[in-house]
Amino acid sequence: MDHQQTQTSLALFCKVVDNYGDIGICWRLARQLEQEHGIAVTLWVDDLHSFRRICPEVDVDLERQLVSGVTVRHWRGQDGVFSAQDVADIVIEFFACDLPPGYIQAMAERAPHPVWLNLEGLSAEAWVEGCHALPSTQPRSLIKYFFFPGFTSRTGGLLLESGLLRQRQAFQQDAGAMRAFLGQFGVTPAEMTATKVSLFCYPQAPVTELFAAWQAGDKAITCLVPEGVAADAVQAFLGQAATAGVSATRGALTVRVLPFVPQPDYDKLLWACDLNFVRGEDSFVRAQWAAKPFIWHIYPQDKDLHHVKLNAFLQATSAKTSSLVTFSLGWNGAAGETIDWNVAWRRLDADLPEIARLSTDWEQQLLANGDLAANLCKFVETVK
């Protein structure tokens, strides 16, 4: 979309359900559309406090602010009044967050109507391909298209900024940079030489059991945990409050609490570790661009529906071994049998080099699908 033409405008609406994934994904997409596609992006978000945890530049008291070239608006409820002039060329509703009725009214009054997308959640389930890019007729002859991220060429692909993999390779080939990055959080040279694990999971994960297996193991483990994650298990291990900077070593295991870092630094944490425990959606995707083995803790849903989604991914990914599948099912309470974490860990640990090798093949497969932001722009061209 070259600049001779008027700059294309885009409005991205994000409601923070809980945790950081919703804003994590929307912030990443907003920045990329602005920086790589020259689109004038306005990000409407209803929770600036969660936003600031992943992006310290955000001022929680401002109604409107410019952050990294993106206009950030504080989305306060559904009563806003808008005119057709306020409506962007492209409107993205994240996770069916229900646009303000006044904005939809203004979209209908705008000529031409904007391109309206609902950016859906990520899943490897087969039905996604059949729903991706489907139109749905809305009142006042508006059309909304469903845009699905995914792992195949018949989906919207995954978020990936251009240059990210080059940055990663440079960082992972620079031992000094990795030492300095982890050193700023207090990681000692001895902890650096151990197997480094990042731990980002939901409270339900069997962290206490895994810590016991690591502590009793014959291999030194340095477990790096963002503050607030698995707080009960971490506090019990540390014997004190799990605040950033606190660490303890028991047996073969050292646990160190990290501060919650800005989003770009979270990538570096994944790049610097030998194994990553990730969750939800955005960290799950970032782990797949880190070329390191990872264990996914999926966002729990009622009636264990998330187990279907988990199994769909474990079937789809090529970066797997039976030890990883068993461990992942156990980690998500989907193994259907009691897991001996000493055995599960020993088997997974032995396969880490193989899984790391397989991760690069999987990365190539994902790259072939194109990145989500570029695919989204191409799709918009076909329907506008």
Cα 80 to chain centroid distance, Å, stands at 30
Rounded least distance, CB 244 to ligand TRH, Å: 10
Instruction: State the alpha helices, DSSP H only, in 274-340.
Output: 282-288, 305-316, 322-331
Closer residue to ligand TRH (CB): 8 or 198? 198
Residue with smallest beta-carbon separation from ligand TRH: 21
Tell me the three-class secondary structure of 145-199, residue by residue. EEECCCCCCCCCCECCCCCHHHHHHHHHCCHHHHHHHHHCCCCCHHHHHCEEEEE
Closer residue to ligand TRH (CB): 21 or 157? 21
Which positions lie near ligand TRH, rule CB under 6 A?
A: 17-22, 24, 54, 200, 226, 260-261, 263, 266, 279-284, 299
Active site residue 59: no
Provide the β-strand partners of residue 222: 196, 254
Closer residue to ligand TRH (CB): 191 or 281? 281
Rounded least distance, CB 119 to ligand TRH, Å: 12
Closer residue to ligand TRH (CB): 20 or 44? 20
Rounded least distance, CB 301 to ligand TRH, Å: 9
C-alpha span between 215 and 137 (Å, rounded)? 57
* Beta-carbon contacts of residue 25 (< 8 Å; ≥ 6 apart): 94, 159, 281, 282
C-alpha span between 64 and 17 (Å, rounded)? 21
Rounded least distance, CB 294 to ligand TRH, Å: 11
Of the candidates 47, 93, 120, 281, the residue annotated as catalytic is 281
Question: Cis ω on the peptide bond leading into residue 112 (within 30° of 0)?
Answer: yes
Active site residue 57: no
**Catalytically active residues, by annotation:** 22, 281
